Structure 1
Amino acid sequence: MPTILYPDTRFLGGAEADRAGAGDGIELATYDATRREQIADEVWRAADAVILGIGLNITADVVERLDNCKIIIRMGVGYDNIDVRAAAGRGIPVANVPDYGTTDIADTAMALLLNFTRGVSAYDNALRRDVVANWHVSHAPVIRRTKGMAAGVIGLGRIGTASALRLKAFDLPVHFYDPYVSNGTELALGLTRHQSVASLLSAVDAVTIHAFLNDETRGLIDGAAVAAMRKGTILVNTARGPICDLDAIHDGLKSGQIAAAGLDVLPNEPPDPEHKLIAAWRRDEDWIRGRLVLLPHAAYYSAQSLWDIRYKAAETARLMLTEGRLRNCVNGELLREAGFGR
């Protein structure tokens, strides 16, 4: 019987979605590991497929042990915790689940933007501090009319496109930067394309990030990027934490170059409570009050998205193991370079 190994996944409320996606005749072997050594080598070597969360990295030394593996699946969109080149070197395709939370994450990005422009959490927090004395419109420091703003999207994949369409529905002109989408995408969607991040940032009043984490995007929003922004830009990141330099965001917020930041993801999760940005936010210092919103990497989350991510990951494994059908492969070019024709 084929086995799907879940090395770092705890089933929340049962494995119904995983079982439904895998179908009959496939065994699910589940662990809650953070290091390879916590799972016996014979388990790694026997696995027919591996479905990975975010608690463990599939490094080259893990790949060396995958003697029987037909596919590695990242239960999510990003796959930066998998050595895709090492996997390709052994002829193992790596797949992701690119569409499980598209609408949820795009909705969250829009919610964070609207939260600032309409002052939702700022007013709520002010009233919680003193419901009588703070009953006044002055307690939302970033509030502004949303219509008339120009919005920017970094990364125009599925989620970025969904966010762009939501922004357009609010009657905002939408600009984007993504060097990997084909020419004419801007014409099809009615967007304005930019050839550099700096060009985009200088043209918009709010920017939402939907890019993969890789060598090109790590630290993309740094001090230079903040300097390129229009003064008073609203920044939203629901993609990957290391894309944004927290020191640069701190400095940008303090100077007013960044009006507000909504961060669902952080470079380290949970964050260091003593980092200067996090510490100022926790102390509710005057200069940052109402201008920073943090979420616990939850933009994707809903009961429906949890079902989808688990069902679709298991289904992808089943299709490969029972039919030899590969979908959502992210290392196809590397497989071909290694001499495996896929």
Structure 2
Amino acid sequence: MTEPTGTAAGADNGEGHGGRPRCAVLDDYQDIARTLADWPRIGDRVETRFLHRPLPSHDAVVEAVGDCEILVVMRERTPFPAALLDRLPRLRLLITSGMRNAALDLAAAARNGVTVCGTASNSEPPAELTWALILGLARGVTTENAALRTGGPWQQTLGADLHGRRLGVLGLGKIGTKVARVGAAFGMEVAAWSPRLDHDRAAGEGVVPCASLEELLETSDVVTVHLVLGDRSRGLIGEAELRRMRRTAFLVNTSRAGIVDQAALLRALHEGWIAGAGADVFATEPLPADDPLRTAPNFLGLPHLGYVTRRNYEGYFGQAVENIEAYLAGRPVRELALPGGAGAAG
């Protein structure tokens, strides 16, 4: 598949054919963005191209899209820190999927005259994927499926019951609350903890508030992470916390990799501190081919699929087109504000 790589910044005046501003849609890994929104609606006013491969360095980004006035990015697949934004003098509009993106330096964008806008994002898909991981771990789904497909032994695993067990939800925001409700429907006792947990709200959801993170870890059979990554949550679950968990417990992380110490998690899996772990998020994405998590025992990993559904993508790219139209009309919409701190993930 051939894709345009763009022109290095400084090679021309930044305008496409007919004087149209150039737009690049980054990290369209599956080559589907162009089919999920009405891009022809702006085709006579904007020259748009779609990039399908990761851009691994600042130099690669500048080379690929340094000629663009508009960029559409997918969550945190390509970070835009100050050092990169300072090298993109033509950039004027940066659109991210969702209304929160920790990989964008909003202050640097403002300093460089770049308007940053977002889109709506549904919280149901990541909540649903969380349960795919929990159920996959509890019932040995990947092990049994692999054996069935290859003619291996019939029945290898003894499933872990969820009914009557405790689900520990770390962060009771939009996603965590939806995960908690499903846990209750399975007949689980649901507990929660976060640095700013609203105890009244938790009680209203039928959730038991824990007094501390330690209590949540020590008493839960499944711990699922739904916190925003920030100064207070980075590395929140390390060796000491993993050792507090039950040896029969599962840890699932569909939030951000930085909340769980990856080296400690590897030790926990290899040494059996916990029964298993599932993750949809990694420190480096795409996950390197030689990353030890790929072959860790009792680990169920997915390639950051939490938000990757048709409904979400149609919303992301459809609203990206709307944002571009609003920008061209001089009335930007869905602008991102500077973050106010960490809490439960929305």
Give the TM interval when normalised to the shorter protein: 0.7 to 0.9
1:269 and 2:285 equivalent? yes
Instruction: Return closer, same or farther for 1:15/1:112 CA change in 2, 3 Å cut-off.
Output: same
Q: For each residue in 1:140-170, what CA deviation from the matched residue of structure 2 results, as whole angstroms up to 9, or x when unmatched?
A: 15x2221011112223332222222222222
Shift of the 45–124 alpha-carbon distance from structure 1 to 2, 3 Å rule, reads closer
2:221–2:249 CA contact under 8 A, matched in 1: yes
> Could you tell me how far 1:128 is from its partner in structure 2?
4.3
* Equivalent residues of 2:27, 2:78 under 8 A apart: no
Q: Deviations over 1:93-112 (max 9, x none)?
A: 54444524x22221111121
Q: Does 1:63 align with 2:85?
A: yes
Q: 1:123 aligns with which of 144, 167, 170?
A: 144
Q: Does 1:244 align with 2:260?
A: yes
**Conserved 8 A contact 2:251-2:276:** yes
**5+ residue gaps in structure 1?**
282-287, 335-342
CA 1:188–1:123 in 2, change beyond 3 Å: closer, same or farther? same
Aligned residues of 2:164 and 2:188 also touching (Cα < 8 A): yes
In 1, the alpha carbon distance for the partners of 2:50 and 2:39 equals: 19
Q: Give the SS at the match of 1:184.
A: helix
Which segment is superposed worse, 187-196 or 106-115?
A: 187-196
Where does structure 2 lack aligned partners over 5 or more consecutive residues? 1-18, 342-346
Superposition map of 1:106-185 within 5 A:
106-128=127-149, 130-131=151-152, 134-136=153-155, 139-141=156-158, 143-180=159-196, 182=198, 184-185=200-201
Q: What is the CA-CA distance between 1:223 and the residue it aligns to?
A: 0.6
Structure 1 vs Structure 2 CA RMSD: 3.5
8 Å contact kept, 1:22–1:317: no
CA–CA separation in structure 1 for the residues paired with 2:286 and 2:234: 18
Q: CA deviation at 1:120?
A: 2.5
Q: What's the secondary structure of 1:258's corresponding residue? A: coil
Aligned CA distance change for structure 1 residues 120 and 242 (closer, same or farther; 3 Å): same
Query: Which SS does the other structure have where 1:232 is aligned?
Result: coil
User: Are 1:21 and 1:311, in contact at CA under 8 Å, matched by a contact in 2?
Assistant: no
2:315 to 295, 308, 312: 308
Q: Distance in 2 between matches of 1:77 and 1:258?
A: 35
Measure how far apart 1:35 and its partner are.
4.4
Query: Normalization by structure 1: what TM-score?
Result: 0.76
Q: Percent identity among equivalent residues?
A: 26
Summarize deviations over 1:34-84 as a string: whole Å, max 9, x none.
Answer: 54545669x75872x432234432121343366676653322465222112
Q: Is the 8 A contact 1:150 1:203 kept in 2?
A: yes
Q: Distance in 2 between matches of 1:111 and 1:227?
A: 25
Poorly superposed stretches of 4+, deviation over 6 Å: none
Aligned pairs, how many?
A: 318
User: What secondary structure is seen at the aligned counterpart in 1 of 2:79?
Assistant: coil
Q: Which of 40, 43, 46 is equivalent to 1:27?
A: 46
- The separation in 1 between residues aligned to 2:210 and 2:131, in whole angstroms, is 21
* Residue 205 (structure 1) shift: 0.9
CA contact (8 A) 2:202 2:208 kept: yes
Which secondary structure does the structure 2 equivalent of 1:176 belong to? Answer: strand
Q: 1:331 aligns with which of 309, 329, 338?
A: 338
Residue in 2 that maps onto 1:337: none
Matched AA of 2:236: L
How many Å apart are 1:185 and its aligned residue? 2.3
CA distance in 1 between counterparts of 2:293 and 2:340 reads: 40
**Residue in structure 1 matching 2:231, options 205, 209, 215:** 215
User: Which whole-Å CA distance do the structure 2 matches of 1:313 and 1:126 have between them?
Assistant: 43
Partners of 1:314 and 1:179 in 2: CA distance? 37
Residues in 2 aligned to 1:330 and 1:170: alpha-carbon distance in whole angstroms: 38
The answer to whether the 8 Å contact 2:22/2:68 transfers is: no
Larger RCO (alpha carbons 8 Å, 6+ apart): 1
Q: Which moved more, 1:146-155 or 1:68-77?
A: 68-77
TM-score, normalization: structure 2? 0.76
Q: Given residue 36 of structure 2, which amino acid in structure 1 is its aligned partner?
A: A
Equivalent AA in structure 2 for residue 135 of structure 1 = W
